[in-house]
């Protein structure tokens, strides 16, 4: 039985990491934060097949599994990469599963189509989404749309049906707004009788897309936290106090060891959750909830301690640690906080009303 990554998976992550390492990550993040333009990055990732990961080969994609997508998400998080990965490379292919002839799949696989993801309003109890459907048209407000603006949007209504809406559709207004994370774009969609294409009226399809998105956010957090840990260790080795590196101080050793001990089990947890999405449907929902909840808490802990290891320098833009700190905070809140996810898991097991 294989418990590690395959050679192909290792090569995939290495190729993505090499591309992202070709440019100083901090310079890339700062430029995007200022210009909000990730065109070159996305085109480069498209050349590596990243948008095509989950698209079937018959539709021009690579036809890989959710675990492979999670590995790429982890790598993107490690480099704080500005890219519309979640909606385009993950949510759209899963929502259109079984519709290989769809033109949108081919365009997204080629990196020609950007997809925003608006599921946040439909999380929790039904009837609270704020988006209603009538006669193939949507009305209401979809908050916290990820990767906004985009070419089209995957939107869930109050009955957890999935719809696709083109950005130029009548009655659609998108308003991007700043969050704590400047490496990604978020917005609010307002719909007023907007024509929409029904993708699926099965709540199970909504659940699968939502669970996959949560696992990808957990993988992104894992990568960002690993970057902060690596930076903290490197800084401790070169920063000197009293004529010796601070890494030789017992307190600093303990801080780094505690971060590593807390973070390492998260990797297996994320990998298993991604594996469950494809092969263990009965476990997929609970595993996704618990994984994102736990990794979010560990990510918050690592972000805090890694910043403390840097001392005052950890709060400066010169070091840039705050970009990963804020990315972890963004991931923690999106599509369910740890508290919400644990409550949802309890309800799924019949342990809460």
pLDDT, residue 124, reads 60
Residues 100, 147, single domain; the answer is no
Residues 127, 102, single domain; the answer is no
**CA separation (Å) from 157 to 174, 191, 204, 217, 320?**
16, 11, 14, 22, 38
Can you give the CATH number for the domain in which 293 is found? 1.20.140.10
Instruction: For 38-81, write each residue's pLDDT tens digit.
Output: 788 899 999 999 999 999 998 888 999 999 999 999 999 999 99
Residues 224, 194, single domain; the answer is no
Domains identified in the chain, total number: 3
Mean pLDDT over 221-249 rounds to 93
**Structural domain of residue 85, as residue ranges?**
7-109
The answer to whether residues 336 and 289 touch, using CB atoms and an 8 Å cutoff, is yes
Instruction: For 268-285, write each residue's pLDDT tens digit.
Output: 999 999 999 999 999 999
Residues 97, 79, single domain; the answer is yes
pLDDT, residue 101, reads 67
333/63 Cα distance (integer angstroms): 30
Q: What percent of the chain has pLDDT over 70?
A: 96
- Any domain includes 36: yes
Residues 334, 275, single domain; the answer is yes
Residues 240, 338, single domain; the answer is yes
Can you give the CATH number for the domain in which 189 is found? 2.40.110.10
Q: What is the rounded end-to-end Cα distance, in angstroms, of the chain?
A: 39
Residues 210, 308, single domain; the answer is yes
pLDDT confidence band for 183 (50 / 70 / 90)? confident
Strand 186-195, strand 131-134: pairing: unpaired
At residue 120, the 3 state secondary structure works out as helix
Q: Is residue 187 scored above 70 in pLDDT?
A: yes
Mean pLDDT of the chain: 90
- Any domain includes 2: no
27-48 b/e (C-beta count within 10 Å ≥ 16 → b): ebbbbbeeeeebeebbebbbeb
């Amino acid at each position: 039985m294989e418990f590690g990554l395959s050679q192909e998976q290792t090569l995939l992550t290495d190729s993505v990491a090499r591309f992202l390492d070709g440019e100083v990550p901090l310079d890339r993040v700062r430029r995007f934060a200022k210009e909000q333009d990730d065109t070159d990055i996305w085109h480069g990732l498209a050349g590596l097949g990243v948008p095509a990961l989950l698209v079937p080969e018959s539709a021009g994609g690579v036809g890989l599994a959710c675990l492979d997508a999670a590995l790429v998400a982890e790598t993107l998080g490690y480099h704080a990469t500005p890219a519309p990965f979640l909606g385009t490379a993950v949510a759209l292919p899963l929502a259109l599963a079984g519709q290989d002839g769809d033109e949108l799949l081919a365009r997204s696989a080629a990196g020609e189509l950007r997809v925003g993801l608006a599921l946040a309003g439909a999380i929790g109890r039904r009837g609270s989404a704020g988006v209603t459907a009538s006669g193939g048209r949507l009305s209401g407000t979809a908050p916290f749309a990820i990767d906004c603006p985009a070419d089209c949007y995957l939107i869930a209504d109050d009955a957890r049906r999935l719809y696709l809406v083109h950005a130029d559709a009548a009655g659609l207004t998108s308003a991007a707004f700043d969050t704590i994370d400047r490496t990604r774009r978020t917005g609010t969609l307002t719909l007023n009788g907007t024509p929409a294409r029904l993708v699926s009226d099965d709540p199970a399809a909504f659940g699968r897309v939502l669970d996959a998105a949560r696992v990808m956010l957990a993988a992104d957090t894992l990568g960002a936290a690993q970057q902060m840990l690596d930076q903290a260790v490197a800084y401790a080795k070169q920063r000197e106090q009293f004529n010796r590196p601070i890494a030789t101080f017992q307190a600093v050793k303990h801080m780094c060891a505690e971060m590593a001990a807390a973070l390492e089990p998260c990797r297996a947890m994320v990998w298993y959750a991604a594996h469950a999405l494809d092969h263990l449907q009965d476990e997929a929902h609970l595993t996704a909830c618990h994984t994102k909840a736990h990794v979010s808490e560990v990510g918050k802990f690592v972000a805090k301690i890694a910043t403390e290891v840097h001392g005052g320098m950890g709060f400066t833009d010169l070091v840039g640690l705050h970009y990963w700190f804020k990315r972890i905070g963004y991931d923690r809140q999106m599509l369910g906080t740890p508290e919400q996810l644990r409550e949802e898991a309890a309800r799924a097991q019949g342990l809460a009303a």
